[in-house]
Chains A and B, each alone.
Chain A
Amino acid sequence: MKITIKLIGPFIYAAGFSEKEFEAPRSATVESLFGLVGIEKDRPKIVTRNGKAVGPVDELQDGDRVVISPLYSGG
């Protein structure tokens, strides 16, 4: 299935891209994406899918847009 990953802020420079489409196996979870983009599992972050927060073990679905962001605190 196809998943679009959008990275925010410094994660872009760690992964080397800002937005990319990935082929992921069915039943892939949110946390399985972290390895793909080179972000440590334990690094504080917020992940949203189609604009809503998701947890690490939530399963992805074909066509999902997943946004991985550091924890911003509003300046």
Chain B
Amino acid sequence: MYGWTGNILRIDLTTKTFKKEPFSEEFAKKWVGGRGFALKILWDELKPGIDPLGPENKFIVALGPIAGIPAPNTGKAVVAAKSPITGGYGDGNIGTRVAEHLRKAGYDVLIVEGKASSPTYIYIEDDKVDFLPADEVWGKGTYATNDWIYAKYGKGVGVLNIGQGGENMVLYAMVRSLEGRAGGRPGMGAVMGSKKLKAIVVKGTKTIPVADPGQMKAIGTGDLKKVGAIDKQTGWSIQGTNGVLAWCNEVAALPVRNFRKTQHPDAWKIDGERLNAARIATYGCPNCTMRCGIAIRDHEGRESELDYENIGLLGANLEIFDLDQVASLNYLCDDYGIDTMSTGCVLSFYADAIEHGATTGDFRFGDAERAKQLLGIAARREGELGNLLADGSLRMARRFGHGSEAYAMQVKGLELAAYNCKFIPGMALAFGTSPIGAHHREAWIITFELKQTSRESYGREKAAKVVELQRIRGGLFEFMVACRFPWIELGWDLKNYPIYFNKATGLDWTLDDFWKVGDRIYALMKFFWAREIPDWDRTRDYPPMVWFDPANADKEGPIAGKFLELDKYNELLDHFYDIRGWDKRGIPTKKTAASLGLDKEAGEVQKYTKLE
């Protein structure tokens, strides 16, 4: 086998043992890597109903067949587990040197099982695995932990670590790497924390097996340069992802005041121009030539690396329009190791619930200093309030009652990304059908909706576009494990990816082969849900209900008086299910399962719920 190392490293924290397990070529071809590998392993090895924060959950790091190979933006890893915030399959994609080092150590997958008896970190160097005490940094943030590891092993090693948020099992705790990188929004950091696993450190020195190493290197390094040249020519990374903030504000898609509003006159104060002007450094993932991490000084003078999602949700959505204060909130989230996006939504929901009388409290929109205190209280799970905020907006709403669940801005328990879809039906569908909870990673169709269709339309073409983008974004880029930015932001041709894959593996695949793998993964993610929740129904694929409320419509601006219509959204959902070959509940049919080679998995699901 080429491309893949062909090995899984299985580590048991309870017994402090490890073993190397080969996987078959059939497994490799069926699931390719990254999200595919992680999902299939969790499906096979987790019993439904297990506690995501119990020792029976498994934390997985999974890589793709081009990870660590010089090709555009391949310095990424998938981190996965059963999600504590959604209860379904959860994962995230993180820029990290672990991608290259783990592959060079001889593994495509790392499975961490059990639970350590005391704070631990794992050091992996090729065939060796050490279980080491992490008491010295338990209770410390991700920056101090990272520095502590670098002081021991040097800056070249791969590191995944958690902060106090993960240790305290905040349900939206992240995994962190390379100081500025984060991944695993659906609580992957909490799963590490539940295992008392503070960090994973990896050093690999072997050669990754590549079918055509000469051509792979020539094409890969050449393409890295080309991507960098396109970025320079177009100027994309001048503002990076935050260029979109001003546009969202213009077209009424910005989340403001817990998504109650779609525009704000002060949005310019936190836009891409201001971010670029305040820049003190630029960061990126390994193997990247279009670096998007723009660092500025925060209100306390610390370096804080920002992107649009952070600024949209910790800034506009909280009505905090001081960029340095937004940077402070971002810094604190990063140091505690909690998701900036969920934190923004949790705090905005809290302020909104207070304002609407669903609960009482002293937090108001625009109060940056109190927001800083509250996110620390959440990360440390301090008292009743800390535990409330640490459990995410859906659980908060269920405690508050008073109809507040309608404006808890989440899907399946996971909070939204920074796009306000109160009148963008297709993007609302993208959030609703995202299999890990609301995430823009799976599909993003706002430009398509505005430019290629009517914003008012609920037509089949929008459902088809969501499926197409899920195949690419949540499929190809998650099982190959590469950053999607060269393609989505610079127009780098998707046809390049089968070339990289074929040079690495020696196979002869086309994009059509990739789409089938993507569809298989989406079907199994839905089976994962159906096995966990046998009475699954389509309402779990709905966006937040406040978007269907006429009283929530904008009073002025481009979408004044407009709101989503539930019967039409259901028609859009029917189109989506029909294109995917899923039933009216949103579960793949037996026929669809068979066409994707999932008969065995369909048989397993039928122990819990009947398939059509």
Contact = CB atoms under 8 A, between A and B. Distances in A.
Interface of A: 6, 8-10, 12-14, 18, 44, 46, 48, 50-53, 67, 69-75
A37 B451 CA distance: 21
B208 interface: no
A9 B238 contact: yes
A75 B273 contact: no
B273, B451, B559 pick with most chain A CB within 10 angstroms: B451
A10 B447 contact: no
Nearest to A53: B450
Interface stretch (B6-14, B103-111, B243-251): B243-251
B444 A9 contact: no
Contact of A9 (B272, B417, B491): B272
A8 B446 contact: no
Nearest to B237: A10
A51 B444 contact: no
B447 A6 contact: no
B435 to A, nearest CB: 17
Given A51-B557, A52-B455, A8 B246 contact: yes
B239 interface: yes
B250 A70 contact: no
Q: Which of A8, A9, A51, A72 has the most chain B CB atoms closer than 10 A to its own CB?
A: A9
B558 interface: yes
17 contacts: A6-B246, A8-B250, A9-B238, A10-B238, A10-B239, A13-B235, A44-B491, A51-B558, A52-B558, A53-B450, A67-B247, A70-B236, A72-B247, A72-B489, A73-B447, A75-B307, A75-B485
B451 A46 contact: yes
Given A8-B272, A9-B244, A52-B558, 19 more contacts: A6-B246, A6-B250, A9-B246, A9-B247, A10-B235, A10-B238, A13-B238, A69-B250, A71-B451, A72-B243, A72-B244, A72-B489, A73-B447, A73-B489, A74-B419, A74-B440, A74-B488, A75-B244, A75-B307
B241 interface: yes
Given A51-B251, A67-B250, A74 B236 contact: no
Contacts of A52: 450, 455, 558
B251 A48 contact: yes
A44 B491 CA distance: 10
Main secondary structure of the interface of B (DSSP, over half): helix
A10 B447 CA distance: 17
B254 to A, nearest CB: 12
B450 A75 contact: no
A46 B440 CA distance: 20
B236 A9 contact: yes
B208 to A, nearest CB: 29
A14 B308 CA distance: 21
Contact of A73 (B234, B307, B309, B444): B444
Contacts of B246: 6, 8-9
Nearest to A75: B241
B252 interface: yes
Given A9-B236, A53-B451, A74 B244 contact: yes
A12 B250 CA distance: 15
Given A74-B444, A75-B244, A46 B450 contact: yes
A23 B464 CA distance: 42
Contacts of A74: 244, 417, 419, 440, 444, 446, 488
A46 B445 CA distance: 13
